Amino acid sequence: APSREWWKEAVVYQIYPASFLDSNGDGLGDLPGIISKLDYIKSIGVNAIWLSPIFKSPQNDMGYDIADYRDIHRPYGSVEDAEALIHGCHERGIKVLLDLVVNHTSDEHEWFKESRASKSSAKRDWYFWRDPKIGPDGARKPPNNWASIFGGSAWTWDEQTGQYYLALFLPSQPDLNWANEDVRRATYADMEFWLKKGADGFRIDSMNLMSKHPDLPDGPISNPEMEYQSGALYFASGPRMHEYVREMREEVFDKYDCMTVGELGFTKDEKSVSQYVAKDRHELNMLFTGDIVDMDFGINHKYEHNPFHLSKLRAITSLWQNAMPKFDGWNAIYMDNHDSGRSLSRYGSDLPQYRKTAAKMLAIYLGTLSGTLFLLQGQEIGMANLPESWGIDDYVDLEGKNYYRSVLERRGAGADMTDVLKEMRRKARDNGRLPMQWNAEPHGGFTKALKPWMRVNDDFKQWNVQEQEGDDDSVLSFWRRILDLRQREKDVFVYGKFSLLDEYKDSDAILAYTMTSFDGKAALVLLNFSDKEQKVDPLDFGGWRCLLKETVSSIDGKGVPLKAYEGALYCNW
Ligand code: ISL
């Protein structure tokens, strides 16, 4: 029998607080809004939530720039509201994960204010301060050639003390120096502050960027046309990374019954992953490896075109499903988060004739795999990416807007930007952050304000929670069924063994696999990722019974008909 843990059986619902529900009419979601929907959240069949950052922040990066880890962003509510939210969740058997953003702080955090005040500040070494380099022309240059993940140099000049500081994301998100022990102690204390208040764990942001190569060497020149290059070789999974994670675990996590999921960037091979999650390493419970979210990102840049092929999804799925049992690690299963487009629009289809079927098909995929399942708010009702008609001014997020601006500068004012908008429509972070669509009222019932902080998708009148409640055929009802089944048959799905169906291992249209429990219960999963009808003929017809399919059909020796984007789930019990 498998080694069972509550965090392995969790189904986690990611809440993007700004976009969930506005209770006070200021156009922004808030904690009381979330509290008022806990019964709904529970009704989906999830048993945990992950809150994207709710802490005090100037919101230059939507709260991923934290100014005080022990306070709440005022428009979201107060520490008391956060306590009430945790309490309300626990009353309903829902665990609460917080977003732990400690690779960097906001430049408005007291630590950084002290650090930047003078070269002799006691906290100077809490961040990365370096002298400028002087170019051949005598001009000041950043200490190395690293590019920021959001564009431009990773170094920001500070006039007052005449040095640069490192900020791998926005200039207002200075990187903390984890090599400094006081930094680590201070963040551990902040983590405990929330664990003592009942938080059940953390999603650890940019986890493996915390240890950098101590010399901060120039990154290799991968693109000579660019002024700055990727420094990932030297800032990702640096030499002390595992030491920090183990220390965090021993000093903090082990004292509580909590769960940890680290966000892993850049080094995503099997060996690197195993070093974080193999049980005997005593580090993290699981990782977001991001490779499914990144499948259609360009080779050089996220927004360059790179088509989705089913073969990529099949390869990534079988890689991790098969790898984890080898070293007693654990998977985080997800396709969506707040950093990209919705999987429905990118890997399924949001065209009206396919949308509902495709959303259900992806639900079967996610709901049957072994691991801890994560859904993004709105996924349960088949929310889609923003429409093609929206222009650049409807986008809010800096990552996409920065990219748009850089291309426009290169091409010149008035240039045709249709191709760029097309890729943004597919992958921009705004897509994952669109306000929840609750009902057919103005702004989808998300807010009573005249103007929400971010435009609501145009399709809210047809696609909303209220419309799908009580409709047996809706995406929401389908998710409820699959999550219920997943909980009832944990040994097949959560803990099951994945095996690709040989006959379909090269198919461009069909992803087919079985999940088998340690005691021989098996489920057969057939997923049509194409816009054509398919007839699927598994070699072994032996007594499969249809568990879930939009248009129910039995396996009768003549194969299984699958509509465009339809999925089917069969069992042998
Ligand atoms: O957003 C991305 C791709 O579009 C990623 O490269 C992302 O920047 C990276 O995965 C780190 O993400 C996390 O940290 C960022 C924050 O902006 C993201 O929202 C967060 O998920 C900085 O804190």
What is the tens place of the pLDDT at every residue in 1-29?
A: 889 999 999 999 999 999 999 999 999 99
Nearest CA residue ID for atom 23, ligand 1: 64
What is the tens place of the pLDDT at every residue in 77-126?
A: 999 999 999 999 999 999 999 999 999 999 999 999 999 999 999 999 99
Q: Which helix (H) or strand (E) holds 372?
A: strand 372-376
Q: Is the pLDDT assigned to residue 536 strictly greater than 80? A: yes
Torsion angle in degrees (nearest 10) through CA of 154, 159, 161, 165: -10
* Predicted local distance difference test score (pLDDT) of residue 538: 76
> How far is 148 from 209, CA to CA, in rounded Å?
13
Rounded mean pLDDT of 330-341? 98
How many A from CA of 108 to the centre of ligand 1?
19
What ipTM was assigned to the predicted interfaces of this complex? 0.96
Which residues touch 364 (CB under 8 Å, ≥6 apart)? 482, 525, 527, 548, 567, 568, 569
How many A from CA of 191 to the centre of ligand 1?
20
Per annotation, catalytic residue among 205, 296, 350, 399? 205
How many A from CA of 238 to the centre of ligand 1?
18
What ligand 1 atom has the least distance to the C-alpha of 427? 4
Per annotation, catalytic residue among 99, 107, 175, 263? 263
Residue 325 buriedness (CB in 10 A; 0-12 / 13-18 / 19+): middle
Q: 128-156: b or e for each residue (b if 16 or more CB lie within 10 Å)?
A: bbeeeeeeeeeeeebbbbbbbbbbbbbbb
What is the tens place of the pLDDT at every residue in 388-408?
A: 999 999 999 999 999 999 999
* Predicted local distance difference test score (pLDDT) of residue 558: 77
Nearest CA residue ID for atom 7, ligand 1: 339
Which three-class secondary structure string do you get for 162-173?
CEEEECCCCCCC
Ligand 1 pocket test target in 14, 62, 64, 266 with most atoms within 8 Å of CB = 64
What ligand 1 atom has the least distance to the C-alpha of 150? 8
Which residues touch 46 (CB under 8 Å, ≥6 apart)? 11, 12, 13, 94, 375, 483
Can you spell out the DSSP letters for 116-182? HH-TT-TTGGGB-EEPPEE-TTS-EE-SS-BBPTTSSBSEEEETTTTEEEE-SS-TTSPBB-TTSHH
| Residues recorded for the chain | 573
Is 566 an active-site residue? no
Beta bridge partners of 176: 127
Rounded mean pLDDT of 524-545? 88
What is the tens place of the pLDDT at every residue in 273-318?
A: 999 999 999 999 999 998 999 999 998 889 999 999 999 999 999 9
Expressed in angstroms, the distance from the first to the final Cα of the chain is 18
How many A from CA of 339 to the centre of ligand 1?
6
Nearest CA residue ID for atom 1, ligand 1: 339
What is the tens place of the pLDDT at every residue in 417-453?
A: 999 999 999 999 999 999 999 999 999 999 999 999 9
Is 283 an active-site residue? no
* Predicted local distance difference test score (pLDDT) of residue 337: 98
Smallest Cα–Cα separation from 400: which of 154, 150, 226, 63? 150
Nearest CA residue ID for atom 20, ligand 1: 205
Residue-range domains of the chain with CATH: 6-103+181-391+430-468 (3.20.20.80), 110-166 (3.90.400.10), 497-571 (2.60.40.1180)
How many A from CA of 406 to the centre of ligand 1?
19
* Predicted local distance difference test score (pLDDT) of residue 541: 66
Residue, of 552 and 347, whose pLDDT is higher: 347
Rounded mean pLDDT of 57-68? 98
> How far is 41 from 34, CA to CA, in rounded Å?
9
How many A from CA of 301 to the centre of ligand 1?
14
Query: Which residues lie with the beta carbon below 6 Å from any ligand 1 atom?
Result: 61, 64, 101, 149, 169, 205-206, 263, 265, 302, 338-340, 399, 429
Distances (CA, A) of 77 to 56, 95, 164: 10, 20, 35
